[in-house]
Structures are given as structure tokens and as C-alpha cells.
Amino acid sequence: MTGDKTHQYHRHLPEDPEYSAEKLQELLTEKGLVDEETLDEIVNIYEHKIGPQNGSRVVAKSWVDKDFKKLLFENTSEAISTLGYGGRQGEHIVAVENSPEIHNMVVCTLCSCYPWPLLGIPPNWYKSDSYRKRAVKEPRTVLHEFGVELLNGQKVRVWDSTAEIRYLVVPMQPEKSLGLKENDLIPWVTRNSMIGTGLPTRPL
């Protein structure tokens, strides 16, 4: 195809999405376009292999390994590939560091772009209209609702993921966790702390 026209589509589907999804899978299977094994593999990957535990490992390592931290901020994709991470919706990842001067926070106002290989599938609130509308204009109010207390004089920097660059927030290491080993630090690094809507916390 060499050209395009403006599209305005109407629904082709019945009201019930659960029913439609099931019937669409049947149709696409009949047509030989999908098979159950591939669909199961995709679900298995995003349910069990890819999730925020990957990002937590990256952050925990950056807290204890100076060389890794240096590489993480110079070339994030290269650094995370040393741990085996990368790929779909994380082709171009940039790590951004929180400091006493800057608090970083990530949103995608146009859709729901998110660093899948490190954090998995975005949580419901990240995809909500409310977060998409409010995060850029009133980040401090949103952070307050998440229970994030900013430091005195800390500036908020919101990253609106408008291109294929995906952002990982690297939170400051809590003082109470200093001296712990990398593996013991992993559970401190919550998903929200890597989006910027939370801070690392002592695991329960």
C-alpha cells in the first residue's frame, strides 16, 4: 500500500467483550492465523517471566555495583542486556535517577507506553484516563495520592512517553537498606518506585 485515507471506524463487535474475544479467537483459528500454543506462550511470558521483578533486580544491582550503575545511566539497553532483559516495548530504555534535587515520574498521556521487559504489563491505574490527564498537570497532587512525600526543594520531572523511548525510574536507596546484599534489596524496589509513583519500602 502506498497511500492512506482518514479512518473513522464503527464497532463490528457484539457488546460483551468476553464473548467477542472468544469468538474472534475461534474465527482466527479457523482461518489458520493463530494457534493455541502461541497464544498460551504469550500469556505465559507476561504472566510468569516478564514483570516488575526484572526492573527490581536492575535497580537493586545499581545500588550495590558501581560499574553497573555507571553503564546503566550511560547506556541503559546495554546494561540491562547483561541481565538478559530487553525486547518488545523496551527496545530503547533510558534509566533516570532520582536525587534529593529531582523526583522523576513516568506517564504516557497519548496511550499507555511502558517499559514492558522491565516492569511487565502496565497496571490498571497507569492506563486510566485519570492518570493520563492529571500526571503532567498536577504531578504533586497525584504523588500525594500515592503517598509519596517529596523532599524540601525537590523538583518534579514528568516523562511523557511520546516516542519509543521507555523510561525506568531509579529511586534513591533508602538509608535503612544500606549495607544489604543485592538479593535482599530486590524486594525493597516496588513497581511504583520504578514508575515514580512510589518509594522503595521495607518488604513486609
Residues within window 85-114 making contact with another protein, judged by CB under 8 A: 86-92, 107, 109-112
Is 130 one of the annotated active-site residues of the chain? no
Q: What type of residue is 131?
A: Y
Is 112 one of the annotated active-site residues of the chain? yes
CA dist 88 and 109 (Å) reads 20
CA dist 147 and 187 (Å) reads 19
Of 51-70, binders to another protein (CB under 8 A) are 51
The catalytic residue among 99, 111, 128, 130 is: 111
Residues touching another protein: how many (CB under 8 A)?
90
Q: Is 17 exposed, middle or buried (0-12, 13-18, 19+ CB in 10 A)?
A: exposed
Of 165-184, binders to another protein (CB under 8 A) are 165
CA dist 118 and 184 (Å) reads 19
Single residue of 67, 124, 179, 181 touching another protein by CB under 8 A: 124
The catalytic residue among 113, 161, 177, 193 is: 113
In the complex, what is the shortest distance from the CB of residue 12 to another protein, in angstroms, rounded to a whole number?
5
In the complex, what is the shortest distance from the CB of residue 4 to another protein, in angstroms, rounded to a whole number?
4
Contact pattern for another protein over residues 5 through 44, marking x by CB under 8 A:
xxxxxxxxx---xx-xxxxxxxxxxxxxxxx-xxxxxxx-
- The beta strand positions in 44-127, using DSSP E, are 92-97, 102-107
Quick check: 129 binds another protein (CB under 8 A)?
Answer: yes
List helix spans (H) across 146-190: 182-185
- The continuous run of DSSP H or E covering 54 comes out as helix 52-64
Is 81 one of the annotated active-site residues of the chain? no
Rounded to 5°, angle at Cα 104 from 101 and 106: 170
Quick check: 75 binds another protein (CB under 8 A)?
Answer: no
- The region of 54-62, 66-74, 119-127, 169-177 touching another protein under the rule CB under 8 A is 119-127
**Which of the residues are catalytic?**
108, 111-113
